[in-house]
Amino acid sequence: MKKVVIGAAALVTLAAGPAFAQQSVKIGFVSTFSGPTAVIGNDMRNSFELALDHLGRKMGGLPVEVIYEDDQQKPEVGVQKSQKLVESDKVNFVVGYIWSNVLLASLKPVIDSQTFLISANAGPHQIAGSQCSPFFFSTSWQNDQTPQAMGHYMNQKNVRTLYLLGPNYAAGKDMLGGVTSTYKGTVVGEDLTKWPDQLDFSAELSKVRRARPQAVFVFYPGAAGVQFLTQYAQSGLKGQIPLYTAFTVDAITLPLQKELALGVPGAQQWVNDLPNDANKKFVGDFRAKHKTYPSFYGAQSYDAANLVNSAVVAVKGDLSKKDAMRAEMRKANYASVRGPYKYGNNHFPIQNFYLQDVVKDADGNLTLKTVATIVENNQDRFSRECPMNW
Amino acid sequence: MLLVLEQCLNGLQFGLLLFLLAAGLTLVFGIMDLVNLAHGSLYMVGAYFAATFTAWTGSFIVGALLALGATLIVGMAVEVIAMRRLYGRDHLDHVLGTFGLILFFNELVRIIWGPAGMSLQLPGWLNAWIEILPDLEYPTYRIAIIVTALVVALFLYLMVMRTRLGMLIRAGASNREMTGALGININLLYTIVFGLGAALAALAGLMQAPIQTVQIGMGENILILAFVVIIIGGIGSIRGAFIAAILVGLIDTLGRAFLPDLMRLFMSSRGASQVAPALSSMLIYLLMAIVLVVRPAGLFPVSNK
C-alpha cells in the first residue's frame, strides 16, 4: 500500500514538472577524499559543512542536501563523478574541485546540463578565457593571479635572477606562466616535474644549485609542498637562496612543514587573520570545532556555500529561475570571508592579494599572518579573451 | 661536469632505495612464487612505525631499529594469517588477495594514525650537507642512504651465498618439493623470507620518510618501479635486482635532469619544459620493453624454473 502511495506521489511530482516547488537544494561536492591529498578535501568538506551549519542547513527556506564525491585527484574519475551528479542525482549546483586538470575534464558535462558549477579552488586559464561559461563561477582565483602577485613582490625585493619549479599539469603551467608575466628579472632556469607521483626533487635541486639564481619560486600544493621544503633544507639551499612560493605553505601543510616554513613568503587572496566579521566567525567556529586553523581551500568552500545561498535566497527557493540566480551571483552579494569583492565578466573574482608569512600564535602553533597587500582589486589577465559580457 | 657527477649520485641514491624495495619483492616472487602487491604497504607501515617510534624515543636510529623489528613481525604475521591461503593458487588470486591487503592496510593506517600523514625529523648531524669535492656539496642524509643500502646489499649477498639460511633459500627457489622432502620446514622458511622482505621494504620506507612525508598510499607509486626493476633484473635474482635498480635510478634521474636542456636545443624553452618530463618518465618503461624483447627472462634470469 505504502509503495502505491509513494508511486502516486512520484507520478504527481513528475506531472507537475518544473512548476512544482523544489523539495530541497541539492548540491554535489566534488573533491579529493582519498589518497595523500584527502586532507585537503576533508578541510573543504569541514568548511562547507560549517557554512551550512551557520545557514541553519537551509537555503531560501529549503533544506540543503549535499552529496560528496571523491575524484581521487584523477581527471577521469572527476568527470565520471560530475556526470553522475548532474545526470542521476540531478543536483542544482556542483561545487568543489581542487585540481585544475580535474576541473577542466569535468566542466563540460556540468555546464552542458545547465547546472551551475562553483569552483572552490581550481582556476585554469582556459575557463577564465575562451572557455568561460554563464554557468561557471569561481570563489577562488584564476591560477595565474597568485603567482603574478608573487612576481610583483619579487620585483619589490629586487630579485634579479630566478629559478622556477612546479608540477607538470594544468595549474603548474599556469603558475609558472603567471609569475613570468609580472616578474621583471631574468628567469635562469625552469623545471616542471612529473605530477602527482614525483616526490623526490634531488635532480632539480642539483640544477638549482648549479644555476645559482638569486631566488627560487615554487608551486607545490598539498603534501608535495612538505616534501619540497624538507628537501630544500636538506640540500643546504635554504639559507643560501631565498624561496618564494604560491600555494605551497598553508594551514594543512604547516603542521608537517613546521620550522622549515618560517621565513618562506607566499601570496594569497585570503589569510585566516583578515579582520572582517564573517572571517572572524568562520575562523573562530572552525577552530572551536576542529582544533586546527582552516586553510584557504576551506575559506573558498565556505564562500561557495554562501554564494549558492545568496542565489537560492534571491529566487526564494525557485531553482528553475536560473537567469535570476546568475544575476544575483554576479553581484557577489554575500559576506565573503576575504572581504567584499566583485566579479569580472568571466565570473572570476576581482580581489586583493596579500603577502603572508609564517608566525607562532599565542599557543605556540605555527600559523599564517597577513603582512601587506601586494595588489588591490586584481583582475585576471584572461578576462579579455572571454566573450561573455553583462 | 660537477652537475653530471651530482646527478649520478642522485640517481645512485634513488636506485639503491629501489633496490631495497625490489630485493624483498624479488625474493618473495622468486622463491615463494607469490605476486605481492601489498609489498608497498609494508614500505608504508615501516615509515609510519619509524615516525612513531622516533617521536617516542627521541632518536632516529633507535626509532628506525624498532620499526624494522616491528615490520618484520607484521610481515611474518601477514604471511601466517593471509599469504598461506594463497600458495598453490594462480597469480590472479595472488593479485586479488594482496590488492585487498593494500586497501586493508591503507584503512588500518587511517584508523590508527589519521588521514593527515606524519613528518619524520632528522637529527641535526644527518640534516646537513658535506663537501665531497671542492664546490660539490651533497646532503649527508642521502650519502647515509647510499652507504646503508650498499651495506645491506653486501649483507644480503653474504647471507644468500654463504650461510645455511641462504642455502635453504636458494634450495627453496630451485626446487620446492625436493627441499621439503629433505626434511626442511618449508612453511617456516617462507615465513622467514617474507618477514625479511617486509623488513627490507620497511628499511626503504623509513629511509625515504625524512625526504618525503609519511602518508597513506606512499608505497603504491614506488611499487610500480620496483616491479619494473625485478622484471628488468630477472625475477628471483638479487644480483639482477641490484643492477637493474641502479640502472633505473640513473636513467630516471639523468633523464629528468638533462632531457629538458637537450630538448631546448631544438624547441622553445616553455615547450621543452613541458615535453621533457613526459618523455623522461617514459624512459624506464622503454628500457623495460627493450629488455623484455631482447632477454624475456630479465638480465640475470634464475636458471632453474
What CATH number did the domain enclosing A230 receive? 3.40.50.2300
Kindly report, residue by residue over B1-58, the tens digit of the pLDDT.
Answer: 889 999 999 999 999 999 999 999 998 888 888 899 999 999 999 999 999 999 999 9
CB contact (8 A) between residue B119 and residue A258: yes
Which residue among A268, A290, A306 closes a domain?
A268
CB contact (8 A) between residue B117 and residue A256: yes
Rounded to 10 degrees, what is the CA torsion of A127, A303, A296, A244? 50
Residue A319 lies in a domain: yes
- In which element (H, E) is residue A13 found? helix A2-16
Q: Which residues of A touch B (CB under 8 A)?
A: 35-36, 38-39, 42, 168, 173, 190-194, 197-200, 202-204, 206-207, 209-210, 223, 226-227, 230-231, 233-236, 252, 255-258
What CATH number did the domain enclosing B178 receive? 1.10.3470
Q: Kindly state whether residues A249 and A295 are assigned to the same domain.
A: no
| d(CA B147, nearest CA chain A) in Å | 17
- Mention every residue, 6+ apart, whose C-beta is less than 8 A from residue B213: A36, A223, A226, A227, A230, A256, B117, B118, B119
For residue B259, the Cα-to-chain-centroid distance in whole angstroms is 26
At A15, list the grid cell: 506531472
Report the residue from A36, A39, A231 with minimal CB separation from B211: A231
At A37, list the grid cell: 591529498
Which residue among A316, A331, A350 closes a domain?
A350
Dihedral sign from CA coordinates of B107, B111, B115, B118? negative
- The domain total for chain B is 1
A140 three-state secondary structure: coil
At A351, list the grid cell: 580581489
Residue A8 lies in a domain: yes
- In which element (H, E) is residue B283 found? helix B269-294
CB atoms within 10 A of CB A357: 17
B129 touches chain A (CB under 8 A): yes
Q: Kindly state whether residues A22 and A153 are assigned to the same domain.
A: no
Q: Give me the count of residues in chain A.
A: 390
DSSP state of B88: T
CB-count exposure of residue B34 (10 Å: 0-12, 13-18, 19+): buried
Chain A residue at shortest CA distance from B225: A197
What is the Cα–Cα distance from A270 to A365, expressed in whole angstroms? 19
**In one letter, which amino acid is A184?**
K
**In one letter, which amino acid is B291?**
V
For residue B97, the Cα-to-chain-centroid distance in whole angstroms is 20
Residue B26 lies in a domain: yes
Which range marks the domain in which residue A105 is found? 2-141+275-350
Residue B305 lies in a domain: no
- The domain total for chain A is 2
CB contact (8 A) between residue B277 and residue A168: yes
Q: How far apart are the first and last CA of chain B?
A: 45
Residue B300 lies in a domain: no
Q: Kindly state whether residues A215 and A237 are assigned to the same domain.
A: yes
Residue A370 lies in a domain: no
Q: Kindly state whether residues A167 and A155 are assigned to the same domain.
A: yes
Q: Kindly state whether residues A191 and A297 are assigned to the same domain.
A: no
CB contact (8 A) between residue A223 and residue B117: yes
Q: Kindly state whether residues A107 and A52 are assigned to the same domain.
A: yes
Q: Kindly state whether residues A102 and A221 are assigned to the same domain.
A: no
* Whether residue B248 has pLDDT greater than 50: yes
| d(CA A171, nearest CA chain B) in Å | 12
Which range marks the domain in which residue B10 is found? 2-294
Residue A361 lies in a domain: no
Nearest Cα to Cα of residue A30 among A108, A76, A85, A104: A85
At A189, list the grid cell: 632556469
Nearest Cα to Cα of residue A265 among A179, A183, A356, A178: A356
A374 three-state secondary structure: strand
Residue A312 lies in a domain: yes
CB contact (8 A) between residue A206 and residue B6: yes
Q: Give me the count of residues in chain B.
A: 305
What is the Cα–Cα distance from B140 to B146, expressed in whole angstroms? 10
Q: Kindly state whether residues A279 and A137 are assigned to the same domain.
A: yes
- Give residue for cell 545526470: A87
CB contact (8 A) between residue B122 and residue A38: no
Q: ipTM of the assembly?
A: 0.86
Average pLDDT for chain B = 90
| d(CA A123, nearest CA chain B) in Å | 19
Q: Kindly state whether residues A173 and A320 are assigned to the same domain.
A: no
CB contact (8 A) between residue B3 and residue A210: yes
CB contact (8 A) between residue B129 and residue A234: yes
**Tell me, what's the pLDDT at B288?**
95
Residues of A in contact with B3 (CB under 8 A): 206-207, 210
Report the residue from B139, B217, B254 with minimal CB separation from A235: B139
Which residue among A235, A268, A301 closes a domain?
A268
- Give residue for cell 599556469: A174
B223 touches chain A (CB under 8 A): no
At B251, list the grid cell: 636513467
Q: Kindly state whether residues A197 and A327 are assigned to the same domain.
A: no
Residue B248 lies in a domain: yes
Left, alpha or beta for A97 (phi > 0: left; psi -120 to 50: alpha)?
left
Residue B299 lies in a domain: no
**Tell me, what's the pLDDT at A21?**
56
Q: Kindly state whether residues A113 and A162 are assigned to the same domain.
A: no
CB atoms within 10 A of CB B161: 12
What is the Cα–Cα distance from B37 to B78, expressed in whole angstroms? 13
One pLDDT digit (tens) per residue for chain A, 390 residues? 444 555 544 544 444 444 445 689 999 999 999 878 889 999 999 999 999 999 999 999 999 999 999 999 999 999 999 999 999 999 999 999 999 999 999 999 999 999 999 999 999 999 999 999 999 999 999 999 999 999 999 999 999 999 999 999 999 999 999 999 999 999 999 999 988 888 899 999 999 999 999 999 999 999 899 999 999 988 889 889 999 999 999 999 999 898 899 999 999 999 999 999 999 999 999 999 999 999 999 999 999 999 999 999 999 999 999 999 999 999 999 999 999 999 999 999 999 999 999 999 888 899 999 999 999 999 999 999 999 998
Strand-pairing partners, residue A356, are: A266, A370
Rounded to 10 degrees, what is the CA torsion of B225, B226, B231, B235? 180
CB contact (8 A) between residue A203 and residue B10: yes
Q: Kindly state whether residues A103 and A152 are assigned to the same domain.
A: no
